[in-house]
Amino acid sequence: MLRYVIKKLLSLAVSLTVASVVIFLALEVVPGDPAASMLGVNAQEDTLAALREELGLNRGPLARYGDWVGGMLVGDFGTSYTYRTPVSEMIADRIWISLPLALLALSLSTLIAIPAGIWAASRRGSGVDLGVMGVTQLGVAIPNFWFAMLMVLVFAINLRWFSAGGFVGWEAGFWPAIHSLTLPAIALALPQASILTRVMRSALLDTLGEDFIRTARAKGLSRAQALWRHALRNALIPVLTIIGLQFSFLIAGAIIIENVFFLPGLGRLVFQSISARDLIVVESVVMLLVCAVIVVNFIVDITYAIVDPRLRRAR
């Protein structure tokens, strides 16, 4: 098991390094002059020169890459060109919205999907199964921004249970903060939960058809006991894979929902920095998101090995 973890840690380090090189090349080296791409085509030569000086672009790419990575390792992400504030502060402000939002949405989706998937699979072909499959079909099909606007209409404007957008901040207290993240989290969770329900259901149905379930039944286990004791853990592997992918998506992919609800999260930050051509911010935030995705995948890999003894032997 230890060897497996070490092996996965090594591959995590390699992935992060490769990702940082690719991001750096894509944003700073390949476009030619980053200063020109930040200031646009009509920039004056002296402004360009000043920016190059400020960003240290006159040095070689290798030195710049070293500074960038070295800075990030100690928490220094540079200074935003447009806002003139340290990028680390900007990220710190926003990550406390994006991360809880993603966690909330993921918890919601998992808490809905796993029981719903088990319920549908254990009553295959019944009304319950058809109902769950129908609802999840809709959930996959409905665009989440539209669903978000619908929820705003119903719960914020008509019923006035929630505010239509914005974030009260964690200073206002834990529950008020969660309250203001609830609608966006539901909007994010809906399609995720629908997909996850379907994955859970089909994985469980596959497992229930396996020979060892028949063996378990021949020992005297009831259908339900066989499902809970033998099928469920075996069916979790594909579900974990999807949860990992979904979490990565939720951290980075909430841009639209953050816009609908006026949430100053990371998605909005990337969106604004791209519009403002603030390369420093884009570079760092993208790296951070990549980092999150890779770390989540690492956690998923470790969970696989906890679930499945066959994976514990490092290969």
Partner 1 sequence: MTLLRIDRLSMDVQGLPILREVSLGVDAGRILGVIGESGSGKSMTALSVMQLLPSGARCSGRITLAGQEVLTLSETALCKMRGRDVGMVFQEPMTALNPLKTIGAQVAETILIHERVSRGEAMQRAAEALARAELPQDRFPMSRYPHELSGGQRQRVVIAMAIALRPRLLIADEPTTALDVTTQAEILKLLKRLVAEDGMACMLISHDLAVVADMADDIVIMRDGEVVENGPADRLLTDLQHPYSKALLAASSHVPDRSAEPREASLLSVRDVVRDYATPRTGWWGRAGTFRAVDGVSFDIRRGESLGLVGESGCGKSTLTRAILGLEEVQAGTIELNGQPVFTGHRPNRAVRRHMQVVFQDPYGSFNPRHRVDRLVSEPFHLLDDAPQGSARSDAIAQALESVGLSADDGRKFVHEFSGGQRQRIAIARALIIRPELIILDEAVSALDVQVRAQILDLLAELGDSLGLTYLFISHDLSVVRSITDRVLVMQAGQIVEQGVTQDVFDAPRHTYTQQLVRAAPRLTVAPERIAR
Token pair of 59, please? 């040095």
- Residue appearing with tokens 């890779």: 294
Minimum CB distance to partner 1 smaller for 201 or for 230: 230
When asked if residue 233 is in the footprint of partner 1 (CB under 8 A), the reply is: yes
Span near partner 1 by CB under 8 A; candidates 28-36, 50-58, 158-166, 302-310: 302-310
Which residues have CB under 8 Å from 248's CB, separation 6+? 292, 293, 296, 297
Footprint of partner 1 on 186-225 (CB under 8 A) = 210-212, 214-222, 225
- Write down the least CB distance from residue 308 to partner 1, Å: 6
- Write down the least CB distance from residue 222 to partner 1, Å: 5
- The span from the first CA to the last CA of the chain, in angstroms, equals 11
**Of the candidates 176, 197, 53, the residue with the CA atom closest to the CA atom of residue 112:** 197
Among 185, 230, 278, 290, binds partner 1 (CB under 8 A): 230
When asked if residue 309 is in the footprint of partner 1 (CB under 8 A), the reply is: yes
- Write down the least CB distance from residue 285 to partner 1, Å: 36
Taking each helix axis as running N to C, give the angle between helix 266-275 and helix 232-252, from 0 to 180 degrees, rounded to the nearest 10: 40
- Write down the least CB distance from residue 259 to partner 1, Å: 43
**Of the candidates 86, 88, 68, 79, the residue with the CA atom closest to the CA atom of residue 23:** 68
Q: Are 196 and 242 in contact (CB under 8 A)?
A: yes
- Write down the least CB distance from residue 177 to partner 1, Å: 39
- Write down the least CB distance from residue 273 to partner 1, Å: 42
Minimum CB distance to partner 1 smaller for 59 or for 233: 233
Minimum CB distance to partner 1 smaller for 208 or for 292: 208
Q: Are 235 and 122 in contact (CB under 8 A)?
A: no
Q: Distance between CA atoms of 2 and 312, rounded to whole angstroms? A: 8
When asked if residue 310 is in the footprint of partner 1 (CB under 8 A), the reply is: yes
Q: Distance between CA atoms of 215 and 204, rounded to whole angstroms? A: 16
- Residue appearing with tokens 């404007």: 157
- Write down the least CB distance from residue 109 to partner 1, Å: 25
When asked if residue 59 is in the footprint of partner 1 (CB under 8 A), the reply is: no
User: Residue 86 phi/psi, 5° resolution?
Assistant: -60, 135
Footprint of partner 1 on 113-152 (CB under 8 A) = none
Contacting positions for partner 1 (CB under 8 A): 210-212, 214-222, 225, 229-230, 233-234, 307-310, 315
